Structure 1
Amino acid sequence: MTMFKKKTIGLALLFIALAAGGVAFTQGKGKPEKKEEAPRKLEFAAADLAVATLRPLDQSISISGALQAVNHAALRSKVSAQVDSVLVREGEEVKAGQVLARFDASNIIAQLNERQSNLDMAKAELALAEKTHGKNQALQKQGFISGNAFDSSSSSLTVSQAKLKAIQAQVAVAKNAMDDMVLRAPIRGQISKRFIQPGEKVDQNSELFNIVDVSAMELQVAVPANQIANVAAGQQAEFQVDGFGSKVFNGTVQRINPEVEKNSRAIAVFLAVKNPAGTLRGGMFAKGQLALGVSQPKLTIPSAAVLGGSTDPYVYWLENGKIAQSKVKLGSSDERSGLTEITSGITAGAKVLARKMDGIKTGMVATAAAGG
């Protein structure tokens, strides 16, 4: 290849490179610059916001405790005897005065018969002594018997009267023992415990039955001593019982214990609970709220708007078109209405986020939709 041809090819390659470079330069210069994205703007519906408002707040305290029957009876044996028959079983309803069991009364019957015979003899002896004393009294007035003889008949009459009274007492004791051989229910209710079986021997004061009347129940709860001043007889409570789901029961404060429990520093409060259908049972656990009355107007927001828990509570709210965060101090709350008192941190009229929402940060641009 000649020198001329080599130079010609080199120049051609140079022009091609310059041309390509020019195109690349032109394309790079003409590429549009990336613009910054506009800040995200949030718009909240009316349901997303809540206005901090002054309003009366239903005051209440949380309560919990076990239900127990107002009327119950623990029956024990008054005699030492063998069980002859048992007429009821656990769970059965009984009426006051109904026979529950009978004991072997053969020994008591024999004693009663013996003492009854002694009583008949004592009555006869007394009648004879009265008749003799009457005759001697007439004879003594006529001077036919001595004073000693009259005193003797008078003494015999006194002894006969005393003997009769003693035997009458013995008969009464035997009859009472006879009554004790038949066990009767002292109250109406249901048999909750039966401790005896036919044929067994029971000692005096042995456990026999437990009877529970569940028509009227009582809920015992513990109230902190620093809140007892707000509790009074007649106040109403609502509570739920394990096993009944969301069903709500009602109770009324009936009694307040006059002493503070040493360990818990709480005071026992007893609520009367009507139970005509007998659905509630003794020992069931209940949990609810005791209403203390209505407070003066307080600044409140929905409890769901309070974030951070009770240790570090705060709320998100709208301030000058942006999301703001403020720490708040909490006062009392009403679980039934779902409202919580705010004692500091925001003022009346503040629009707070009514519940927890993901992705919310301080400084975000936000507005309320029309009507929000």
Structure 2
Amino acid sequence: MAPSMSACKRSEAKAEPVSKEDPVVHASVVQVTEQAMPEYLTLIGTLRANQESDIAADASGKVLATFVERGQAVRKGESLARLDSRAAVISVSATEAQSNQVKANLEQAQRECERVKHLLETSAISQAEYDRTTSQCSSTQWSLAAAEAQHENARKLLGDSNLRAPFDGVIGERYVSVGQYVKPETKVASIYAPDPLRLELTVPEAQAGMIQPDMKLTFSVTAFGDEKFSGTVRYVSPHIRESSRDLVVEAIVPNPGPKGKDGKPAGVGKLRPGMFATAKLLLSEHPVPAVPVSALKREGITARIFAVVDGRANERLVQVGEEKGGLIAVVSGINRGDGIVAEPGPDIRDGVRIQ
């Protein structure tokens, strides 16, 4: 009798090849340990000059010369611009002559007072006549004081015709040109000190209690990518702003630039006032699970780690914290003592056998 079809099928099934064993991937496995990792408060702020000033003319007159341009380093007392001082020179001469005349009148009045004093002692004049003469001496003294004050004011106006830098710094703007007429309130130039700078930060009300003077921070600015700069919190506002419900703090930031032969700043450093900054304020350090940075696989904002469980890779989504010394804190997703793949390559995937 011919064999049945079911028997043929059973024979074919027995002839099928057996499936191969799962592939084994060799990988370096490390154990998760707890390390002291930093905790930061991320803030945003703006760089400002530690010292800046808009220099006013403080006098009236036509601009005869300007000596500075935007970005130029200047020393304290250096001339920035000069005004027409001819009227001031005439005023100084006139007030000096008036002062000298009053001095001469005072000397004569003092001699007269000495003479009438002797006459009064000898009863040659009356007390009333003596009082009239001595009162003239007093009024002449006050006239001299007024004349000298007018002379000093005239000399000040003459000095104000030469506008000078109030401190070592860099010129931000020059607002006037030769031939322009200026008044005492006219802005002539702006100047700022380039080193150090201030980083003005706003702290939400909920975190205001964490802020103390002398706390350290690092920050970055868009112009220099991932480059880090440092500073120290120096000034903390005593109140919360009602309009924005935040606290204003200022950090002092070193910003060294080129130096002149005298050792004083001769230019600006990398950082400039007005730059927007993202800062990290160090709050504390405490032990948390930490893994090598190389153990992470990142895809945008998603981070994965491959734990090793019963000899197989177990893919886990993790929430990470700050980095320090080649390690990164893991807030959630793994625990202390877990084994993880130290450097997962393209052949590491969920469920693969690990040796």
TM-score (norm 1): 0.78
Worse-matched range after superposition: 224-233 or 185-194: 224-233
**Cα gap change, 1:143 to 1:347, in 2 (>3 Å):** closer
Q: Percent identity?
A: 24
C-alpha distance in 1 between matches for 2:10 and 2:101 = 144
C-alpha distance in 2 between matches for 1:25 and 1:292 = 76
Secondary structure of 2:51 counterpart: strand
Cα offset, 1:71, TM superposition: 1.8
Instruction: Give the AA of the match of 2:331.
Output: I
Q: Superposition pairs for residues 131-150 of structure 1, below 5 Å?
A: 131-150=111-130
Aligned to 2:321: 333
**Cα gap change, 1:314 to 1:225, in 2 (>3 Å):** farther
**Cα gap change, 1:306 to 1:361, in 2 (>3 Å):** closer
Secondary structure of 1:333 counterpart: strand
Judge conservation of contact 1:238–1:249 (CA < 8 Å) in 2.
yes
Q: Does 1:349 align with 2:337?
A: yes
Q: Does 1:87 align with 2:67?
A: yes
Secondary structure of 2:233 counterpart: strand
Aligned to 1:253: 233
Secondary structure of 2:193 counterpart: strand
Aligned to 2:134: 154
Worse-matched range after superposition: 298-307 or 232-241: 298-307
Cα offset, 1:166, TM superposition: 1.6
Query: If you compute each CA radius of gyration, which structure gives the higher value, 1 or 2?
Result: 1
Q: Superposition pairs for residues 303-318 of structure 1, below 5 Å?
A: 305=296, 316-318=306-308
Cα offset, 1:55, TM superposition: 2.1
C-alpha distance in 2 between matches for 1:145 and 1:119 = 32
What do residues 30-80 of structure 1 show as CA deviations (whole Å, max 9, x unaligned)? 75643463463342411xx55322222122233443322212221012122
Judge conservation of contact 1:301–1:342 (CA < 8 Å) in 2.
no
Aligned to 2:204: 224
Instruction: Give the AA of the match of 1:124.
Output: A
**Cα gap change, 1:55 to 1:89, in 2 (>3 Å):** closer
Secondary structure of 1:148 counterpart: helix
Aligned to 1:112: 92
Cα offset, 1:354, TM superposition: 5.4
Worse-matched range after superposition: 192-201 or 36-45: 36-45
C-alpha distance in 2 between matches for 1:347 and 1:241 = 35
Gap regions ≥5 residues in structure 2: 258-267
Q: CA RMSD in A?
A: 3.4
Instruction: Give the AA of the match of 1:179.
Output: G
What do residues 128-173 of structure 1 show as CA deviations (whole Å, max 9, x unaligned)? 1111121111112112223332222122212212221221221122
Aligned to 1:321: 311
Cα offset, 1:323, TM superposition: 4.1
What do residues 241-283 of structure 1 show as CA deviations (whole Å, max 9, x unaligned)? 3333444322222222233344554333322222222322222
Q: Does 1:279 align with 2:269?
A: yes
C-alpha distance in 2 between matches for 1:206 and 1:35 = 96
Judge conservation of contact 1:305–1:353 (CA < 8 Å) in 2.
no
**Cα gap change, 1:309 to 1:242, in 2 (>3 Å):** closer
Cα offset, 1:115, TM superposition: 1.8
Cα offset, 1:97, TM superposition: 0.9
Secondary structure of 1:111 counterpart: helix
Instruction: Give the AA of the match of 1:342.
Output: V
What do residues 14-34 of structure 1 show as CA deviations (whole Å, max 9, x unaligned)? xxxxxxx99x99998875643
TM-score (norm 2): 0.81
Aligned to 2:261: none
Secondary structure of 1:187 counterpart: coil
C-alpha distance in 2 between matches for 1:260 and 1:356 = 48
Judge conservation of contact 1:82–1:104 (CA < 8 Å) in 2.
yes
Aligned to 1:3: none
What do residues 104-147 of structure 1 show as CA deviations (whole Å, max 9, x unaligned)? 12222222222222212211111111111211111121122233
C-alpha distance in 1 between matches for 2:76 and 2:349 = 71
